[in-house]
Amino acid sequence: MDRTVKKPLTRRLIQLYSALLYNAHLKGFTEGKIYTGNIKSVCVPGLNCYSCPGAIAACPLGSLQNAVSASADRPAFYIVGILLLFALLLGRVVCGFLCPFGLIQELLHKIPTKKLKKSKLTRKLSYTKYAILAVFVFLIPAYFAFRRLPLPGFCKYICPAGTLEGAVLLMLHPNNGDLRAMAGSLFVWKFAVLIAMLVACVFIFRAFCRFVCPLGALYGLMSRLALIGVKVDKGNCTDCGACVRVCGMDIASVGDHECVHCGDCIDICPTKAITFSAGKIVLRGSAIKERGHLNEKQ
């Protein structure tokens, strides 16, 4: 019997540590209360509900919707600046390494079942998240902002991370009977969305990231400029397509707006043309540097 223990991926450990760091207020889980310290004026880069009992910082997507909701009174400089900075430095590396909900999805996908492979249809469906970003994160909150009714559309009607990390974890606590009593048809809807997403993730790799997540969409818009991520050395690339085939996301090329920079393609590349880099500093991979500088493929 093979008793060798598989070493966890560095990426998996980073995902786990970041999830723990985002939710380091462990007392919140035992008391059924959320953290109320001043650090909560800072946003984490990944999707993590600020109503999770463990959350020590704010959710960038929730904060963005609330800033749009308040935009009639106050321009949303703060959250736009934070999101822009995250997008420029990390881009969708956030999705691959620093998102607790991404980690949950990847773990669910490890359940051994038949998997739905990516196709032209899933590639088309991956654009749904941009529509969700426009409608639920910007248009709905902006429309109601001018009626003085704050309405964070994505949080309220869709966000499964909020339902899982916020609602379920808070409502399960015996001290929060009042919250359970307030749960009505909206909660039933959100819980159904959560279950549908979790089940989908068992069969479809990162279903929420690929088709729904507006935060990933937002970071994806800046993916060409992001400092850190996988880069392709055009000089060494033979366009064999092995990287695109091995990727679980709906990428057209490595490093595009759908790429979460997990780095699974690095070891697959027959010419070692792919590296994980921060600017010119190669963090992983072995590009043959004599043949030129590293360039992004796109």
Partner 1 sequence: MRKKNLIFALLIIVSVGFIVLGIVNGGALDVLAKAVRICSECIGIG
β-bridge mates for residue 277, sequence order: 229, 282
Answer whether 233's CB lies under 8 Å from 294's CB: yes
Residue 275, SS3? strand
Answer whether 230's CB lies under 8 Å from 259's CB: yes
Is residue 163 a contact point for partner 1 (CB under 8 A)? yes
Is residue 79 a contact point for partner 1 (CB under 8 A)? yes
Q: Please select the residue that binds partner 1; options are 90, 93, 137, 171, rule is CB under 8 A.
A: 171
Q: Please select the residue that binds partner 1; options are 121, 225, 246, 252, rule is CB under 8 A.
A: 225
> Residue 155 or 259: which CB sits closer to partner 1?
155
Is residue 170 a contact point for partner 1 (CB under 8 A)? yes
From the list 1-9, 20-28, 80-88, 228-236, the region that binds partner 1 by CB under 8 A is: 80-88
Is residue 167 a contact point for partner 1 (CB under 8 A)? yes
Is residue 212 a contact point for partner 1 (CB under 8 A)? no
Per-residue x/- marks for partner 1, 26-65, CB under 8 A? --------xxxxx-xxxx-----xxx---x-xxx--xx--
Q: How many CA atoms lie within 13 A of 154 on its CB side?
A: 31
Q: How long is the chain?
A: 298
Per rule CB under 8 A, count of chain residues that contact partner 1 = 57
We find the least distance from the C-beta atom of residue 113 to partner 1, in angstroms, to be: 28
Positive or negative torsion for Cα 90, 213, 298, 97: positive
- Report the run of H or E that residue 101 belongs to, with start and end: helix 100-109
> Residue 2 or 178: which CB sits closer to partner 1?
178
Place of tokens 């490595």: 254
| 205 burial level (CB within 10 Å; 0-12, 13-18, 19+) | buried
β-bridge mates for residue 43, sequence order: 58
From the list 157-165, 207-215, 245-253, 281-289, the region that binds partner 1 by CB under 8 A is: 157-165
Q: Please select the residue that binds partner 1; options are 26, 116, 131, 227, rule is CB under 8 A.
A: 227
Answer whether 206's CB lies under 8 Å from 122's CB: no
Long-range contacts formed by 116-123: CB under 8 A, 24+ apart:
116/203, 116/204, 118/205, 118/248, 118/249, 118/250, 122/204, 122/210, 122/211, 122/250, 123/250, 123/252
> Residue 18 or 126: which CB sits closer to partner 1?
18
> Residue 248 or 255: which CB sits closer to partner 1?
255
Which residue ranges make up the site for partner 1 (CB under 8 A)?
34-38, 40-43, 49-51, 55, 57-59, 62-63, 66-67, 70, 74-82, 84-85, 88, 151-152, 155-156, 159, 162-163, 166-167, 170-171, 179, 182-184, 186-187, 189-191, 225, 227, 293, 295
